[in-house]
Amino acid sequence: MSIKKSDFGKGCVYNLGLFLAHSEKFLECLNLRLEDTIKDPKKIYSEMWFNTASDHLYELQIPEKYPDELKKKLTFLKYKCLHFGHEFNKPFPTMKDVSKMLNLAKEILMDIDKLNGVKVIKATWE
């Protein structure tokens, strides 16, 4: 029996959780004092954040049994974040993109709960 390893995880909900765990790190980066020589520190930190957070989406598994709309959301999240984090070409990510992708990941988790019959109530403070 061989043990298979994954540097950044392999799964669906698990990998979404690992991706979302990086949200606090992004907020920490924005609160750092930045040198005046950096022209657009928010852009640089957006790129850096996507570079580290999106690693967890490489082996994101999308179950075939999921409804098409959910599969589309997961596919979009995966490839958009990998583009922002690893292709280093236009379009470049912004803080707004970070927020959009974090919200999309949370929306996907709520969709998965609903799919499993769980009543979801969005948090006022998330």
Which of 12, 19, 14 has its CA nearest to residue 82? 19
In which residue are the tokens 């912004």 written? 94
- pLDDT tens-digit readout, 12-28: 999 999 999 998 776 66
Residue 106: name the closest of 77, 79, 71 by CA.
77
**Residue range 40-87, pLDDT digits in tens:** 666 778 888 899 999 999 999 999 999 999 999 999 999 999 999 998
Considering only the C-alpha atoms of the chain, give the largest distance between any 2 of them, rounded to a whole number of Å: 55
CB atoms under 10 Å from CB of 22, counted, come to 17
